Structure 1
Amino acid sequence: MVVDDEALVRSGFRMILNASDGIEVVATAQGGEAADVIRREHPDVVLLDIRMPDVDGLTVLRELQTLPTPPTVAMLTTFDTDEYILTALRSGASGFLLKDTEPEQLAQLVRTLAAGGVVMSPKASRALLRGHPGAGAAQDPDVGRVNLLSDRERDVLVLIAEGLSNADIGARIHLSPGTVKDHVSSILTKLRVAGRVQAALLAERAGLLGNGDRAGTAQENGR
């Protein structure tokens, strides 16, 4: 489902995604009607505009998090950086992407979200990190919890930050999906975070990814 205040964006995304194998846009909506339509249609993935004039995306996101089985949500933005992005990620969003994402990548990103992966626009991810320079290990007590992870859990955390689903992580490091799921659960518990995106951000702040580009690797490769 696509939620945006601009009819052109809604129709464009619907056309692109409906033309992709295995994806159906069950509905589009503006912010004020979004929650009701989502309750009725039960989409697996919601692309949600972060800035809307009637009801902003953060309000919709928080309302969706109260549902018994909330959909996977990625925030849409027209800006390389947006002061609301970090709040959205901490509020349960599974990533963010720019509205000018290439059409051929859009369906792949939706599949990544549906598979439980993390989607972060490379440009927006780098801008987000630049915009929060005080979030380094020395200033951030949360980063210290990364030391509680085993070596294997650190490997899994890095792959989470790259945007891989459990199945993709298992294939990469030769583990069963069930074992990966157990590792992910342990990682979230030890890091005291609510989801994969928050874990990915913590991995970047802890310096586990080596450089600011890797969080966008999955999107750049179309995973």
Structure 2
Amino acid sequence: MIRVQVVDDEALIRSGFELILDAADDIEVVATSTGAEAAGTVARLRPDVVLLDIRMPDVDGLTVLRAIRVMTAAPAVAMLTTFDSDEYIVTALKSGAAGFILKDTEPEQLASLVRTLAAGGVVLSPKASRSMLRAHPGHPAERDRAADPEVRRVGLLSGREREVLVLVAEGLSNADVGTRMHLSAGTVKDHVSAILTKLRVGSRVQAALLAQRAGLLGGDPGC
């Protein structure tokens, strides 16, 4: 079973997510909590996945995220937000979040997103990512790609590494990438390590965002 904790200041959101996720045979919501209770509950129950509201009046999501990230064997954390251009999302991703989920995501998609997180994948909606990047003037996504040194690093990747990067950005775990590309999990892990090194990023999420900015995911993030 995939053990999930839902953190939100609104009881209706917490109960709604719990109802939807508990309907899946392989997912169990082990706790719901407000921001103030979140870190302590995570430390006590050790869920596999935490769905964390990014904006809460008592203790904000970024503060909770930082507290979770320093825990031993920290769970995968995805930020919950109402806005696909939330100004705090970029900060959350840089702080170790494994992606973000819009609160109006279709109910039938939630279980799939949780499975992706539990498997070590990332959850980034291409449409939402483009909106998020557009909403930050001066962000490298607003500059010409050819003049963007970060985007140019994508050119250092081999063809196989680009294929792996696209699948990682689509949320696939190493095992899923291996199945799709007929590679061993160890080989995929080596490719991901090389990708992170060449792109000079510290996480799969940052690599996924760079893939989005480079136009590898079937849409121009700056349009």
* TM-score calculated relative to the size of structure 2: 0.89
Which consecutive unaligned segments of at least 5 residues does structure 1 have?
214-223
2:98 equivalent to 1:90: no
- Conserved? CA contact 2:134–2:142, under 8 Å: no
2:174 equivalent to 1:170: no
What amino acid sits opposite 2:173 in the alignment?
S
Question: Out of 9, 24, 38, which is 2:13 matched to?
Answer: 9
Question: Out of 135, 153, 157, which is 1:149 matched to?
Answer: 157
**Which residue number in structure 1 is paired with residue 115 of structure 2?**
111
2:191 equivalent to 1:187: no
Could you tell which deviates more after superposition, 173-182 or 37-46? Answer: 173-182
Secondary structure of 1:180's counterpart equals helix
Secondary structure of 1:13's counterpart equals helix
Within-5 A mapping of 1:67-86 = 67-86=71-90
Question: Partners in 2 of 1:76 and 1:151 — Cα distance?
Answer: 34
Question: Out of 40, 44, 49, which is 1:40 matched to?
Answer: 44
* TM-score calculated relative to the size of structure 1: 0.89
Which consecutive unaligned segments of at least 5 residues does structure 2 have?
none
Question: Partners in 2 of 1:123 and 1:13 — Cα distance?
Answer: 22
Question: Partners in 1 of 2:21 and 2:143 — Cα distance?
Answer: 36
Q: Once superposed, what is the RMSD of the aligned Cα atoms?
A: 1.7
Deviation per CA, 1:74-111: give whole Å up to 9, x if none.
00011132111111111111111111111111111100
Question: Out of 175, 190, 214, which is 1:206 matched to?
Answer: 214
Residue 210 of structure 1: CA displacement? 3.6
Percentage of identical aligned residues? 73
Question: Partners in 2 of 1:193 and 1:69 — Cα distance?
Answer: 21
Question: Partners in 1 of 2:168 and 2:194 — Cα distance?
Answer: 13
**Which residue number in structure 1 is paired with residue 142 of structure 2?**
134
**Which residue number in structure 1 is paired with residue 205 of structure 2?**
197
Residue 43 of structure 1: CA displacement? 0.6
Deviation per CA, 1:101-148: give whole Å up to 9, x if none.
111111111001111111123442231132244254345322232233
What amino acid sits opposite 2:101 in the alignment?
L
- Conserved? CA contact 2:8–2:56, under 8 Å: yes
Secondary structure of 2:87's counterpart equals coil
- Conserved? CA contact 1:135–1:205, under 8 Å: no
Residue 149 of structure 1: CA displacement? 1.9
Between Structure 1 and Structure 2, how many residues are aligned? 213
What amino acid sits opposite 2:71 in the alignment?
L
- Conserved? CA contact 1:161–1:199, under 8 Å: yes
